[in-house]
Amino acid sequence: MLRLTRLREYFRTSLWALPTAIVVAAVLLGLGLIEIDRAGGWSESAFPLFGGTPVGARSALTVVAGSTLSLTGVVFSITMIVLQLASSQYSPRVLTAFLADYETKVALGVFLGTFSLSLTTLLAVHDGSGADDAFVPRIAVTASFVAALVSVGVLIRFIHHVMHSVRVSTIVRRLADETERELTRLPSLCPNGCAEPWTGPPGEGGRLVLAPRSGVVVDIDRTALVTWAAERSLRVQVTRPVGAYVTQGLPLLGIFDDEGDAAEPDLGSLVSVAEERDIRNDPVYGIMLLVDIALRALSPGVNDPRTAVLVLDQLERLLIVVSRTELPVGVYADAEGETRVWVSEPDWETYVRTALEEIIDFGQDSRMLRVRLLDLLADLDAVVSAPTDVLDVLAQRVRAAAER
């Protein structure tokens, strides 16, 4: 299941998967329409079809294919410019959000699909030695014209989308929305209820399972890990939390049992290691991306505190969601209530410090930012039911910066 999840995530963030699927569908559609035309299975009274000669069909299809291929180059160039702009102005780590953008991939797919449909149809046009031998796939030619009109509409929509997608407010809101979706999924990590904390450290009374390769832990299938441990009457500690880097050959799991002869687990189906972090299953990383945008805005070369204030607006929203969410404590039990798995999970203080500490450090010279930080901390203090010292500590740091 974990491998399937990562494969689905790979296709979601790849720029080629959806356009390739649309191209294949367009080619198959063209071949199918050509065969329908050969069989004469279309009533011309149902829809007006192309009625020109083979020469006219070739000329029209050549224009459609050439223009849509040019549009594809334009879309690709615009996409590269947007990626470069986002990387330099906001943060290179926000590129994943643009790579997962659905409308960009649809635009590329529609233009390439129209080109492929026109090219497939063009190959089927024959002059023949006589009038009876000539063949013009009128249905496919008409479909190419319709696809060309659709491409014009998609181009207009794509330009509108790009103009809005590069705005900092759109980027910040999109990251916040995706992070909030992950925060709402946190209670489901404990399907059998969370057990009382277990403090068995790895390496003492247990054996270690080493990481097969270097990378960042991006996902842990806690349910599968609990099931695997329960079937073998084991207790398992994941030594690296989600978001932590692990080097090949270093401990990744600690397995505790009485016999010491349990089979080696299939790490690929239990713990996923990738090249970089992802917001999916890691809302702390989503907060870090927002903080990156704020820090870039507060740098001397940019000096844009209003963008940092915009980020703080979304961070306040996310921290309020965290305060109302049942955060997993990191200790997972099986269906019988027996403790099976321990994973280091972020708590309330981790979220608050990740969201605010660096912004306080870099933005203490901005009066606008200090005022917004104090308002944010006051709002959080009003909504958090359990007393916490971290808000008071951060508020004191902001006030101390204002007095200097």
Structural domain contains residue 364: yes
Query: 18 and 158: one domain?
Result: yes
- Please give the Cα distance from 384 to 179 (Å, whole number): 20
Query: 254 and 365: one domain?
Result: no
Name the domain count of the chain.
3
pLDDT of residue 290: 95
Residue 364's φ and ψ, nearest 5 degrees, are -70, -15
Structural domain contains residue 84: yes
3-state DSSP percent of the chain in helix, strand and coil, to 5:
60, 10, 30
pLDDT of residue 129: 58
One-letter amino acid identity for 241?
P
For residue 265, what are the domain limits?
Answer: 191-274
Query: 304 and 269: one domain?
Result: no
Inform me whether the pLDDT recorded for 44 exceeds 60. no
Contact present, 288 and 235 (Cβ < 8 Å): no
Contact present, 191 and 230 (Cβ < 8 Å): no
Query: 361 and 262: one domain?
Result: no
pLDDT of residue 351: 95
- Please give the Cα distance from 224 to 2 (Å, whole number): 9
pLDDT of residue 268: 74
pLDDT of residue 168: 86
Inform me whether the pLDDT recorded for 74 exceeds 80. yes
Structural domain contains residue 173: no
Query: 104 and 249: one domain?
Result: no
- 201 band by pLDDT with thresholds 50, 70 and 90: very low
Inform me whether the pLDDT recorded for 354 exceeds 90. yes
Query: 161 and 94: one domain?
Result: yes
> What's the CATH number where 223 sits?
3.90.1170.30
Closest CA to 5 of 274, 243, 240: 274
> Average pLDDT in the 371-388 region?
85
Query: 78 and 131: one domain?
Result: yes
Query: 141 and 225: one domain?
Result: no
Query: Whole-prediction pTM value?
Result: 0.83
Helices assigned H by DSSP within 166-212: 168-184
Inform me whether the pLDDT recorded for 138 exceeds 70. yes
Query: 48 and 130: one domain?
Result: yes
Query: 250 and 300: one domain?
Result: no
pLDDT of residue 192: 57
- Please give the Cα distance from 92 to 70 (Å, whole number): 29
Structure-block tokens of residue 256: 């505790």
CA 373 to chain centroid, in Å, comes to 29
Structure-block tokens of residue 64: 């459609």
Strand partners, 253: 209, 238
- 301 band by pLDDT with thresholds 50, 70 and 90: confident
